[in-house]
Structure 1
Amino acid sequence: MDVKDTYIPQHLDLPTRYVFFTIDELMAIVVPTFIGIMMSSFLGGLIGGGIAWMALRRVKQGTSLSRIYDRAYWLLPSSLFNFKDMPGSDLREMAG
């Protein structure tokens, strides 16, 4: 095994990157661009993908996608989530 073939990440929690984007950022660009191509508007899809990418980066604020899930749990109604082992986010005081 050659040393050049082995990739050692600097930090264990670094996400895998494709070109310059993480997988969620790449999907935020590719999906609107593909929809734009299907609707015969490549430039419109590319602009939509760029806007979606910038919005996702702003929401993530340099962290992982789990930050979005955390915010969604606390800010959205509990009926949207089907967590069986967790109390609802609107329950502020536990009995006992």
Structure 2
Amino acid sequence: MVVKRWIVCWSQKNFSTTTTRTTTMITDNMNEQQQRQQRLAQRWKLLKKNVMTPEEQVVFLRKRQEVITNRLSAINQQEMKLKERLEMISNEIETLQSSSSSSSSSS
């Protein structure tokens, strides 16, 4: 019984740490995204002022397209990892609930 309580406490603590880490990661990503958007806005202003030749604009826009595609791919990979983590946590919760309900019914 003490061991099961320790497991539940450990799981809750571990879940809390995971949640904090995920929240920090999301906040960091949002900050990076804001900084990228500011840099892009500055570049776009230069583009609009016709500082770049049409050829340079094409090169710039192709680079932007590549960066966005790569970022989207990374986000999709991160989403898959988070879904896997969520599934693992859900399975762990189910296991803990079933073990705690079976231990309480046997008591």
TM-score w.r.t. the length of structure 1 is: 0.28
Bigger strand share = 1
TM-score w.r.t. the length of structure 2 is: 0.26
Structure 1 or 2, whichever has the larger Rg, is: 2
Q: Which has the higher contact order (CA 8 A, sep 6+)?
A: 2
Bigger helix share = 2
